[in-house]
Structure 1
Amino acid sequence: MVSDSGIECLSIAYAAANISEEKRVSAIGFVAGIGSAASLLGTMAARFLSTAQIFLIAAISSMVATIYMRIFVKETSGRIDSEPLNQPILVDNGEERSQSKSVSQSFKEVLPLKDIFCLLKSSVTLSLATVVAFLNGLGEGGQQTPYLYFLKARLQYNKDNFAVLMLIGYTGAAIGQLFLMPRLAPITGEEAILSLSCISGFISMLIVSIAWAVWVPYVANLLPIIAFLTRPALQSIVSKQVGPNEQGIAQGCIAGISSFGNILSPLIYTPLTDLFLSEKAPFNYPGFNLFCVGLAWLIALIPSMMIQFGTKNSRLKIRDGGRTLDA
């Protein structure tokens, strides 16, 4: 649990720091798609393995990933690009950094909270992305325990139904992230994908909230082909607002804010689920809690559209106090 989000955001940050902006969205989508494909394979394997075998294979996979990372993934924390647009926002003008800094020294440097807030407020786009990340975290949290409990209580879902539901969702997510996003982003842009995925998340929850048969959530779970593009689209947008040496900070902040939404989500949706599935419900809408989960994505649509149609803030403008440096 501790390393889950960290592995994802560090992988995205590493890819963003080493790939040009033109190819970055495809790379981020590919990394996210590989994660979804791995979740799909893990769900399928769990159907045929015992509990002890599942934990054994998970431990071996983690060890293999660690060894692979240590051998093949090169450390880039000391690299600074000489181009002005790639210089970090948080570095003072008089500060000089040596490229020979060791990895052990970088672990000792803890960025103050005020610098993190300064980074998030340095761009209107980053500020709006923070709001979207929080609301997306609320929605994702609502898709966990409250969502599954509703399906079990309302439609009598069992473990087989849940397994099929997860297989459909992960398959759609992998297809969308691996194949759809790299082809769609150059045409529409990440901002349009972000807005579209927020709409898809709301529609999916709306359909499930009024589900009248066991197969309805299966159909609604096809929408993650688009809905699961929210996170990679957001990560791609954020990556273009900071320099290569700040990718880890930016992606970590966005992941942390999203995780905070995940924490708050059960506190909001669990009592709501219990209320509307009981006889004390103020009105007859058993799936109202899922409708509220979808509302998180519907509200997130507003800042996502502000990102899409608002003024684009470049990193150069931020550091120059709003002045452009035209050649």
Structure 2
Amino acid sequence: MEKTFGLSHLFMTIFLHHFSTFMVIPAITDVTMTALCPGRDECSLAIYLTGFQQAITGVGTLVMMPLVGNLSDKYGRKALLTVPFCLTIFPLAILAYSRTTGFFYAYYILRTLTAMVCEGSVHCLSLAYVADNVPEGRRASVFGILAGIGSCAFVCGNISTRFLTTSSTFQVATSVAIVAALYMRILLPDSIRSDHERLKTPILSKGKAAISCPVEEKDSTNKVQLFQGLPSIQDAVFLLKSSTIFSQAAVVAFFSNLADLGLHASTLYYLKAKFHFNKNQFADLMVISGIAGAISQLLLMPILAPVLGEERLLSIGLLFNCAHVCSLPPSHLQKNVPYAAAVFSVLFVFSQPCMRTIVSKQVGPCEQGKAQGCISGICSLAGIISPLAFSPLTALFLSERAPFNFPGFSIMCTGFVSMIAFIQSIMIRAAPRIPLERVSGCNTDALA
């Protein structure tokens, strides 16, 4: 019962946090364009600055995600969640105060620095929290519900943006971010336990954490118990080599995130340049996608995951992601195509929860933070490469210097990258399952 309440508080915490971050997405493109290139619908400087920010963020998170996951295994998920929840507030507060060019650059610098820690860490730690409290057989469904909560926040945030002015959008986002941090600190229980008591070692203590995580002598699933100290490149390489399924999931994570990040960065400026989209139209588009994704993750995934398995569902999600991406580039002829393409999110949202579920089942119960952090680090590597590859392409083909007339060329390239992830996902085979009672570790009283 206590763990059920813990999950409900986690869902509420994630909803509030994502609500505050998602509601500014439709407005940030207009704010950036107004600050850097007022009165214009095409701005190479904005594209390059966005790409540079994404690359620097990727470098930071590549280092930080494995560290954050490792520390959360030692000191608890709640202690590590506090850091990104608090850091998220400050960049939002700057634009809530003013959106002039000077304040925009202050936001840009601070957002870049804080994103090195915040980007992906909340998602990584929340997945580890769920894995602490949910047995393997139900993990895919709960991961899907967690993703669905994020989609609901995405929808609510974008609907709110639709009816708020730009200044009010950032003010409300800042207020909700503060509420999310307070809610998490006051009501969210920590999920890490020793065999007899809760984790008691403070994160700044020099003593050893009160976590006991015995290694099974003969585990038929070959689950790995790694990382006795802080993470290193050798640890990540050893983890990738220890499980073929884990390494395959890592390849899928890299290419799918490479495509997703490239698509997100390219599409907003593509729609701005070709169709003169503004904050409200971006919000409408995102609401359609979010509603479809929320319905799918909250209703369809808990039904389909036990029947099809997360491996097949992963391939289905990536296949429809390819279809979604490939439908966008020709849309410069018809303005309504992006709205129709957004409906594909009913099925392509399966990919991320399924991939994370596959990863969680390849490690022991006390290694969830490290495993999710490793995958988040690999996704961050994609975040470094994506802007280097797609930002110049986007800027080139939206400019008058394009070698040929194909404004959506960079979007089409992300479709090819997504196809690589789909092909790799087909090769993943389900790992053998063992009864829950045979899994020993720091969380023996998992949710039934």
When normalised by structure 1's length, the TM-score is: 0.82
The 8 Å contact of residues 273 and 289 in structure 1, kept in 2 or not, is answered as yes
Amino acid at match of 2:324: S
- Summarize the alignment of residues 103-182 of structure 1 with structure 2, pairs less than 5 Å apart: 110-182=230-302
Q: Tell me the distance in 2 between the aligned counterparts of 1:311 and 1:8.
A: 24
Q: Tell me the distance in 1 between the aligned counterparts of 2:173 and 2:399.
A: 39
Report the alpha carbon displacement of residue 282 of structure 1 after superposing the two structures with TM: 4.3
> Please, which of 150, 160, 176 is the counterpart of residue 61 of structure 1?
176
Report the alpha carbon displacement of residue 87 of structure 1 after superposing the two structures with TM: 9.8
Question: Aligned pair 1:298/2:419, yes or no?
Answer: yes
Amino acid at match of 1:45: S
Question: Aligned pair 1:286/2:401, yes or no?
Answer: no
Report the alpha carbon displacement of residue 232 of structure 1 after superposing the two structures with TM: 0.8
1:66-93 Cα deviation digits (max 9, x unpaired) = 333334433343435779459972359x
The 8 Å contact of residues 198 and 301 in structure 1, kept in 2 or not, is answered as yes
Question: Aligned pair 1:89/2:224, yes or no?
Answer: yes
Identity rate of aligned residues, in percent? 41
The 8 Å contact of residues 18 and 244 in structure 1, kept in 2 or not, is answered as no
1:196-246 Cα deviation digits (max 9, x unpaired) = 111111111111111121101100111011112211111111111111111
1:313–1:171 distance in 2 versus 1, CA, 3 Å: same
Amino acid at match of 1:90: Q
Q: Tell me the distance in 1 between the aligned counterparts of 2:193 and 2:349.
A: 33
Residue 207 of structure 2 corresponds to none
Q: Tell me the distance in 1 between the aligned counterparts of 2:382 and 2:433.
A: 28
Question: Aligned pair 1:16/2:131, yes or no?
Answer: yes
Q: Tell me the distance in 1 between the aligned counterparts of 2:152 and 2:356.
A: 19
Amino acid at match of 1:111: P
Q: Tell me the distance in 2 between the aligned counterparts of 1:300 and 1:118.
A: 22
Q: Tell me the distance in 1 between the aligned counterparts of 2:272 and 2:343.
A: 20
1:33–1:311 distance in 2 versus 1, CA, 3 Å: closer
The 8 Å contact of residues 172 and 225 in structure 1, kept in 2 or not, is answered as yes
Corresponding pairs, count: 299
Residue 27 of structure 1 corresponds to 142
CA RMSD of aligned residues (A): 2.7
When normalised by structure 2's length, the TM-score is: 0.61
The 8 Å contact of residues 24 and 236 in structure 1, kept in 2 or not, is answered as yes
Q: Tell me the distance in 1 between the aligned counterparts of 2:434 and 2:258.
A: 29
Q: Tell me the distance in 1 between the aligned counterparts of 2:425 and 2:395.
A: 31
Amino acid at match of 2:224: I
1:132-168 Cα deviation digits (max 9, x unpaired) = 1111111111122211122222333333321211111
Amino acid at match of 2:357: S
Report the alpha carbon displacement of residue 291 of structure 1 after superposing the two structures with TM: 0.9
Q: Tell me the distance in 1 between the aligned counterparts of 2:256 and 2:280.
A: 27
1:11-64 Cα deviation digits (max 9, x unpaired) = 111101211111111111111111111121111112233445433433333333
Residue 42 of structure 1 corresponds to 157
Residue 99 of structure 1 corresponds to none
Residue 222 of structure 1 corresponds to 343
Q: Tell me the distance in 1 between the aligned counterparts of 2:213 and 2:340.
A: 47
Amino acid at match of 1:183: I
The 8 Å contact of residues 88 and 243 in structure 1, kept in 2 or not, is answered as yes
Q: Tell me the distance in 2 between the aligned counterparts of 1:152 and 1:280.
A: 18
Residue 318 of structure 2 corresponds to 198
Q: Secondary structure at the match of 1:210?
A: helix
Q: List alignment gaps of at least 5 residues for structure 1.
A: 96-108, 317-327
Structure 1 window deviating more from structure 2 (67-76 vs 175-184): it is 67-76
Residue 208 of structure 2 corresponds to none
Q: Secondary structure at the match of 1:64?
A: helix
Q: List alignment gaps of at least 5 residues for structure 2.
A: 1-114, 195-211, 436-448
Q: Tell me the distance in 2 between the aligned counterparts of 1:112 and 1:265.
A: 24
